[in-house]
Structures are given as structure tokens and as C-alpha cells.
Amino acid sequence: MGINKLLICILMGIILSGCAQSTAMLGPAITLASSGNVSQAGLTFFTNKAVEKETGMDTVAFVSNKIDEQNSKTKLKREFKNMVEINFLKTREKLISQDKSNTFN
């Protein structure tokens, strides 16, 4: 139990001090340490490296970029819908007022 605490302290010291070279390695290392599943850790590492090589961003930045893009598209659609509804209501009010003014003439 004492050795585990020592290793965890050393690992945390390295990670928190900024001496860790690649953030793509941290996720798989934690996966390996927590689950002991070497194949899952390896797959995660190579997937992270492939995404980084293809996009120039790490996996977290890439996914967060995609989510931001999707949110901005949804926001744009919502704003467009609101604008159309407001214009529709204004046009309806104008037509009703014109109809009322024409009825009295």
C-alpha cells in the first residue's frame, strides 16, 4: 500500500509540474492504471495520436471544437426562427390594421 501511494505521488508531481511531455499519453496512462486493460489504453493512445496527426489538435480540443460548432449552428437556427416569427407577427398586425381601416371606409 505504501508503494502505491509513493508512485501516485510521484506521478501526480510529474503531471502537475508540467514535466509531462504529451497530453495524449496521460489519458491512456490513467486508463491503464485504473483498469489494467492494456488493449484499451493502447487503442486510446493511438486514437489520440491519429486525431492529433490529422487535425493538429488533441482529442479534447477537437471534440470541444465540434461541439462549439454544433451549438453555434443551433443558436443561429434558433435566432433565425425567432426573427421570422417576429416579422410574421408584425406583418400580421399590419394586415389586420389595414383590413380594419379599409372596412370603415
- How would residue 91 be classed by pLDDT, with cut points 50, 70 and 90? very high
Tell me the three cell numbers of residue 92.
400580421
HSE of 75 in the Cβ direction (CA atoms, 13 Å)? 6
Mean local confidence (pLDDT), 5-34: 67
Q: Are 48 and 28 in contact (CB under 8 A)?
A: yes
Mean local confidence (pLDDT), 75-99: 89
Helix (H, G, I), strand (E, B), or coil: what is residue 28?
Answer: helix
pTM of the model: 0.41
Tell me the three cell numbers of residue 98.
389595414
Q: Is the dihedral of CA 39, 40, 45, 51 positive or negative?
A: positive
Averaged pLDDT of the chain:
78
Q: Where are the domains of the chain?
A: 22-56, 58-105
